[in-house]
Amino acid sequence: SSIDKASFSWSAPSNIALVKYWGKKDNGEQIPANPSISFTLNNCKTITSVEVSKKGEAQDFSFDLLFEGQPKEDFKPKIQKFLERIEKFCPYLKEYHFTIDTKNTFPHSSGIASSASGMAALAMNIMSLEKAINPAISDDYFYAKASFLARLGSGSACRSVKGEVVAWGENKTIEGSSDLFGVEFDLLHENFKHFQDTILLVDKGEKQVSSTVGHNLMHGHPYASRRFEQAHENISLLVDILKIGNVAEFIKIVESEALTLHAMMMTSMPYFILMKPNTLEIINKIWKFRAETNIPVCFTLDAGANVHVLYPNNVKEQVLQFIQSELVGYCQNGQYICDEIGNGSQLI
């Protein structure tokens, strides 16, 4: 390859699953046990710049890692493992030395997982290098392979590459869906445009259960096979809901998915409760507010205690007022992050 020196910079957002990915097939290749679908976020993102320079010979991976401009040794093993995993798909990697400088727009240790945005941002930069080496590759190939590579870094990262709504995992509802990369769902109804996600930071502590451990708990789980079927059913329902703009039905599926994710963790061996008392307080307040006002606001959860409050853009004022008066008190140091649907990664 003929590139000696180059630099690239990409941002990639976090995403929030509506139908959750929880469990992978047992072949070590990051294949999901069930399909998932997510909203791409706009404000919570990782920005990663990469400088590449050609080395003398291609022995081993060689890279420096900076976090907010400062050397960050403890992230290196994760990146090393990622490069090893993708090497056979990117044979040019060992020809270069990489300087990777990365930062997040959301507060460090906010309890917001940065693996999806981080791995997606790195994958985009690697594809920019590939494109520099081989300018003939098409845009479709560029984005599909970026998502493919991101998946090998962190499963859900493949949903942070391109599009407002992204599905990952083969299913019969979404044409072109694949276990290997995310595909954009582009029939989103007006009612969901600019949908809001206000992330309430209930517990910013270290993750109690890493997602790797979590996915593994689905092996031999008593309810696994029914759960995987249910994800297919929910994808099918949700796709229609997103097309026709049925916010009331959206709420049912999304909240059920969040509670099911946590139910899977409570019923695995070993078992975990990842919600905190304040998580439940918030959920109950949301239900009460919704019942009293008819405002279509709902919640979803990640594998942790934080609550994502989802609602249409046209009720933003009332919901933010409700959050500020009734929910902020349950957040650690009163912290929350306002986000909304975004478009995916961007070249900077």
Residues in Cβ contact with 288 at an 8 Å cutoff, skipping those fewer than 6 apart = none
Q: Which of 20, 162, 221, 227 binds ligand PMV (CB under 6 A)?
A: 20
Binding of ligand PMV at residue 257 (CB under 6 A)? Answer: no
Binding of ligand PMV at residue 154 (CB under 6 A)? Answer: yes
Q: Which of 8, 10, 13, 17 binds ligand PMV (CB under 6 A)?
A: 17
State the minimum distance, in angstroms, from the CB of residue 303 to ligand PMV.
Answer: 4
Distance, in Å, from the CA atom of 62 to the CA atom of 48, rounded to the nearest integer, reads 17
- Look at the block and give the residue holding tokens 């420096």: 64
* Cα dihedral 49→85→304→12 (10° resolution): 30
Q: What is the per-residue binding string for ligand PMV in 46-65, x denoting contact by CB under 6 A?
A: --------------------
Q: Which of 155, 169, 312, 342 binds ligand PMV (CB under 6 A)?
A: 155
State the minimum distance, in angstroms, from the CB of residue 212 to ligand PMV.
Answer: 7
Binding of ligand PMV at residue 34 (CB under 6 A)? Answer: no
Q: What is the per-residue binding string for ligand PMV in 180-219, x denoting contact by CB under 6 A?
A: -------------------------------x--------
Using the rule CB under 6 A, give the single segment among 134-142, 153-161, 225-233, 330-338 that binds ligand PMV. Answer: 153-161
Comparison of 21 and 250: residue with beta carbon closer to ligand PMV = 21
Comparison of 202 and 319: residue with beta carbon closer to ligand PMV = 202
State the minimum distance, in angstroms, from the CB of residue 38 to ligand PMV.
Answer: 6
Binding of ligand PMV at residue 303 (CB under 6 A)? Answer: yes
Binding of ligand PMV at residue 36 (CB under 6 A)? Answer: yes
CB 151 within 8 A of CB 183: no
Comparison of 93 and 217: residue with beta carbon closer to ligand PMV = 217
Query: Of the candidates 93, 75, 33, which has an alpha carbon nearest to the alpha carbon of residue 231?
Result: 33
Binding of ligand PMV at residue 234 (CB under 6 A)? Answer: no
Residue-level length of the chain: 348
CB 331 within 8 A of CB 277: no
Q: Which of 8, 21, 39, 228 binds ligand PMV (CB under 6 A)?
A: 21
Q: Which of 115, 178, 279, 332 binds ligand PMV (CB under 6 A)?
A: 115
Q: What are phi and psi of 344, to 5 degrees?
A: 115, -165
Using the rule CB under 6 A, give the single segment among 61-69, 154-162, 236-244, 262-270 that binds ligand PMV. Answer: 154-162
Comparison of 116 and 323: residue with beta carbon closer to ligand PMV = 116
Residues of span 304-343 touching ligand PMV by CB under 6 A = none
**Interaction site with ligand PMV (CB under 6 A):** 17, 20-22, 36, 115-116, 154-156, 211, 261, 302-303
